[in-house]
Amino acid sequence: MAVSSVETNAEAMCPHRLVLEHVTSRWGVLVLIALLDRSYRFSELRREIGGFGRGVSEKMLTQTLQTLERDGFVHRDAKPVIPPRVDYSLTDLGREAAEQVRRLAVWTETRMGAVQEAREGYDARKRASEQE
């Protein structure tokens, strides 16, 4: 069973581009950054990531974690207890990736002002040309 059909189709692509897509995927980014702080349990992680606005669905988080685990970025520690307890953490490989991703995220935050400004200019120019 393939993780998802989009990947099955893309199996012919250069493999590193696929890994890059996993790391930069919508939820992959957030999972990696969260796990950089500490290990998380499944539901904990879900709350952390979806702490505001829209959250991850259970299905998407599962899928994201499985993909990242398969690529060797995330370690899954399932403890055979009742009730079940599963902890997710970064591997060394995953930590390297996560640090790069976090750097990008931090940069984004510091540059938000410039982005906002650019958007206002863009929108203004667009409005002006529409009602000429």
Partner DNA sequence: CGGCATCCACACAGATACTG
Partner DNA sequence: CAGTATCTGTGTGGATGCCG
Per CB under 8 A, does 109 bind a second copy?
Answer: yes
Per CB under 7 A, does 41 bind DNA?
Answer: yes
Among 20, 38, 72, 78, binds DNA (CB under 7 A): 78
- Decide if 49 contacts 30 (C-beta within 8 A): yes
Q: Which part of the chain contacts a second copy (CB under 8 A), choosing from 25-33, 36-44, 57-65, 81-89? A: 25-33
Per CB under 8 A, does 128 bind a second copy?
Answer: no
Rounded CA separation 40/24 (Å): 20
Using a 10 angstrom Cβ sphere, with 0-12 exposed, 13-18 middle and 19 or more buried, the burial of residue 89 is middle
* Subset of residues 85 to 114 that bind DNA, contact rule: CB under 7 A: 85-86, 88
Lookup: tokens for 82: 């009742």
Neighbour tally for 42: CB within 10 Å: 18
Q: Which part of the chain contacts a second copy (CB under 8 A), choosing from 12-20, 39-47, 56-64, 78-86? A: 12-20
What are the residues whose beta carbons fall under 8 Å from the beta carbon of 86, sequence distance 6 or more? 41, 42, 76, 77, 78, 79
The nearest distance, CB 113 to DNA, in angstroms, is: 26
Q: Which residues bind a second copy (CB under 8 A)?
A: 9-10, 12-17, 19-21, 23-26, 29, 52-54, 69-72, 91, 93, 96-97, 100-101, 103-105, 107-109, 111-112, 114-119, 121-123
